Chain A
């Protein structure tokens, strides 16, 4: 007897229909599953067999072959337990009526089985559910514990189940599965970010730079002595980024769902992520990958902020791997028979000390580094990576009496308003250019949208001569000036915009490397 059930496999965030074909025939009793990775097969076999027996059904002593097709799609995870078990039970019952046939053909089934037949939750339920709907399916059976994470999805009937028996009773006409009530999701009410710029006293220069970074989507390097507040500043960047759109929330939540970071209580990621991996992180955990490709920190920072504290401490090879994802906003993990994509559109904020001892330019401690030591330290970060950082910002210690002052500090909400305005200008300007922010401007688009008047040109020329700016600074300055002009509500870049932008290239300037 043959029975076929349907499920969904994920490759990155994309879903593929998996057809689970169960054939039971007379012959030497055996149980084979083909089309799953070895390790998963063994585990799945045990769970399915035991679950069926523990539910008082007979696990037939026949030749049982389960084939998961197509074979060339990588299938991982435990979500195929349930469709396999159902396939076996249906096949062992012999004749199927049309209703059952029809139901199985049109229903996606996902769920892990525990040994007593209970249906356990699986990772990645959101993308699975969304993809099932996209692939034209109108019904999905999934673990009850996952239900909350998909309740906002419309266009597909969701049947949450907590036990294998519920499904079988439904198929045998002894019970009816209850459809999940679609839940209205309050998309307006986005989450509240736990940190606010009004908690940061002083640091006006750094705050302004981060406002520019937020407005134009620019990557930013904070340079300052230990304890000057670099982490405190970086942590607050998401609080001034525009609120996430529904689509953005869904995309981020999908990634978190795959990693199992969503739950009944936290079904949707509503605030922009802030990820801060330690410098001991492996390339795989940062970029994504592994035997079974999984998203890395850069994808968990999607639509949010990736903060790399102490940038020069990160191994060279790890930093090198950041270059492509920074450019492409997507990371491709290639495996022998398939490649997996995860989105990774994040703002990079990196921090570093100004020199090996950390106290170059500090008013509080003497820096003992020799110029060549400083140069060597700065050179640890490769040029190509620096090329992808638009803003270099010096962060200085705030004196105690300034911390003590009672001035009213600007809230993140207020800064965010300005950021939003600048973003709207950019979106309108780049409507037909397939980009959203100034940071994404290509050399060709730079020429089109960052025209300079003669005064600004003169300033830029003089700056290159007198400050010894390196060549890589040029495009970065134009992009940042564009954003400053947008914050200023000006359609053309003016003198003061270009002048301010030049100030955020401190690492490119001569004095840093030559004097001390």
Chain B
């Protein structure tokens, strides 16, 4: 059982769990009548379809409040065997949750970050304070002797990420250019061998497939 819960990246965590055939539990910070944000409805449906669980301690008519989310985190850590913190800014709610988890006697894991990454300040501090530093799945598994771990069945998350992030071969040249830095169409034209028409075609396909996005700074990778 994999339980993921960090607000902000919880969607991707749930998705990831479902994608690799795991089960996942979502804990709401509101009543069932107030699912927030709206897009999460389809996510929760998916979780249920994959033998997961969606739960809440609030009555159906409870509206979402930011304090609710902090509260519900104690439930998340409570039903978990451990907590992995991916990102956490200075003094964020995540740090609070990590502290609660520790109090509850759960193991706290954290991903290290570059020292100037704002979203890494919290996790780096957690590691300083004794959280278990995680760079690979084994780092977590090892901590729980009762977990059976089949190396052969290991799903390389990074590999999945990579595959997911690799668009159609025909679009790679352009995609890789944008991967380096945001570019306008004219800039892409300068750097590539393709005509404006072809580039426009590829940019649209990349955008529709969710690899890039058009912003006021040009085309950027998502």
Is B134 among interface residues, defined by CB-CB distance under 8 A? no
- Chain B residues whose C-beta falls within 8 Å of the C-beta of A204 in the assembled complex: 185-186, 189, 196
Number of B interface residues at 8 Å Cβ cutoff, please give it: 21
Q: List 10 additional contacts besides A205-B186, A205-B200, A463-B204; criterion CB under 8 Å.
A: A205-B189, A205-B196, A208-B197, A459-B208, A496-B198, A499-B200, A503-B200, A511-B214, A511-B215, A515-B215
Is B46 among interface residues, defined by CB-CB distance under 8 A? no
Is A502 among interface residues, defined by CB-CB distance under 8 A? yes
- Chain B residues whose C-beta falls within 8 Å of the C-beta of A466 in the assembled complex: 207-208
- Bound state CA distance, A499 and B171, in angstroms? 13
Is A445 among interface residues, defined by CB-CB distance under 8 A? no
Interface centre among A459, A463, A500, A516 (most CB of B within 10 A): A500
Cβ contact within 8 Å between B216 and A500: no
* In the complex, the 10 A-B pairs of residues with the closest C-beta atoms, listed nearest first: A361-B216, A208-B196, A496-B201, A499-B201, A499-B204, A500-B200, A503-B200, A205-B185, A204-B189, A462-B208
Which residue numbers of A lie inside 8 Å of B, CB to CB? 202-205, 207-208, 360-361, 363, 367, 396, 398, 402, 459, 462-463, 466-467, 484, 487-488, 495-496, 499-500, 502-503, 509, 511, 515-516
Q: Would A396 and B186 be within 8 Å (CB), given that A361-B216, A511-B214, A511-B215 are in contact?
A: yes
Cβ contact within 8 Å between B208 and A500: no
Partner of B203, one of A363, A488, A503, A511: A503
Please classify the interface of chain B as helix (H, G, I), strand (E, B), loop, or mixed, using the class held by over half of its residues. Answer: helix
- Bound state CA distance, A462 and B203, in angstroms? 14
Cβ contact within 8 Å between B186 and A515: no
Interface centre among A367, A462, A499 (most CB of B within 10 A): A499
Q: List 21 A-B contacts (CB under 8 A).
A: A204-B189, A204-B196, A205-B186, A205-B196, A205-B200, A208-B196, A361-B216, A367-B216, A396-B184, A396-B186, A459-B208, A463-B204, A466-B207, A466-B208, A484-B197, A496-B201, A499-B204, A500-B197, A500-B200, A511-B213, A515-B216
Least Cβ–Cβ distance between A398 and chain B, in angstroms: 8
- Chain B residues whose C-beta falls within 8 Å of the C-beta of A203 in the assembled complex: 186
Cβ contact within 8 Å between B208 and A496: no
- Chain B residues whose C-beta falls within 8 Å of the C-beta of A207 in the assembled complex: 196
- Bound state CA distance, A363 and B218, in angstroms? 9
Interface centre among A396, A467, A502, A503 (most CB of B within 10 A): A503
- Bound state CA distance, A499 and B196, in angstroms? 12
Cβ contact within 8 Å between A363 and B217: yes
- Bound state CA distance, A205 and B201, in angstroms? 12
Partner of A503, one of B186, B189, B204: B204
Q: Using CB atoms, name the residue of chain A closest to B190.
A: A402
Least Cβ–Cβ distance between B18 and chain A, in angstroms: 22
Q: Using CB atoms, name the residue of chain A closest to B189.
A: A204
Cβ contact within 8 Å between A360 and B208: no
- Chain A residues whose C-beta falls within 8 Å of the C-beta of B201 in the assembled complex: 495-496, 499-500
- Bound state CA distance, A495 and B200, in angstroms? 12
- Chain B residues whose C-beta falls within 8 Å of the C-beta of A367 in the assembled complex: 216
- Chain A residues whose C-beta falls within 8 Å of the C-beta of B195 in the assembled complex: 208
Least Cβ–Cβ distance between B195 and chain A, in angstroms: 8
Q: Which of B163-222 contact A (CB under 8 A)?
A: 184-186, 189-190, 195-198, 200-201, 203-205, 207-208, 213-217
Q: Which of B4-34 contact A (CB under 8 A)?
A: none
Partner of B208, one of A205, A363, A396, A463: A463
Least Cβ–Cβ distance between B186 and chain A, in angstroms: 5
- Chain A residues whose C-beta falls within 8 Å of the C-beta of B207 in the assembled complex: 466-467
- Bound state CA distance, A288 and B40, in angstroms? 57
- Bound state CA distance, A363 and B216, in angstroms? 9
